[in-house]
Amino acid sequence: DAMVIQNPRYQVTQFGKPVTLSCSQTLNHNVMYWYQQKSSQAPKLLFHYYDKDFNNEADTPDNFQSRRPNTSFCFLDIRSPGLGDAAMYLCATSRDIPRRASRFYSNQPQHFGDGTRLSIL
């Protein structure tokens, strides 16, 4: 089945030690998203890729970076994790409309992976 796969499911790292989370998709969707979700909170968008175009949210800390080497893969790099970065990280994909189309927003649902729960020691 086509799906969004996140690895690892659980990641433990030390304070300040860089960590990379990965996401792959077999849906051939052109948009990929990274969300941070803390307990009892809504998912918070960190950034997204529209094809190869990187779109950072204004309030995403510089500590968070992303790479999308090809359509199928996207990585979240946390350069120096702090205790406040402990959270569930969710990857999602969607098929968005071409930007030249008249409609301003996508009407296609986002499809999520199972998430990576990050713990900081």
- Binding residues (CB under 8 A) for another protein: these are 4, 6, 40-45, 57, 88, 90, 92, 104-107, 109-115, 117
Say whether 84 sits in a helix, a strand or coil.
helix
CB of 52 to another protein, least distance (A): 17
Phi, psi dihedrals of residue 85, rounded to the nearest 5°: -90, -5
Distance CA 112, CA 62 (A): 24
Q: Which of 11, 17 has the CB closer to another protein? A: 11
CB of 81 to another protein, least distance (A): 19
CB of 45 to another protein, least distance (A): 6
Q: Which of 79, 106 has the CB closer to another protein? A: 106
The CA-atom distances, in angstroms, between 6 and each of 26, 28, 38 are 12, 15, 17
CB of 16 to another protein, least distance (A): 25
Cis peptide before 8 (omega within 30 of 0): yes
Q: Which of 37, 63 has the CB closer to another protein? A: 37
Q: Which of 9, 17 has the CB closer to another protein? A: 9
User: Other CB atoms closer than 10 Å to residue 85's CB: what's the count?
Assistant: 20
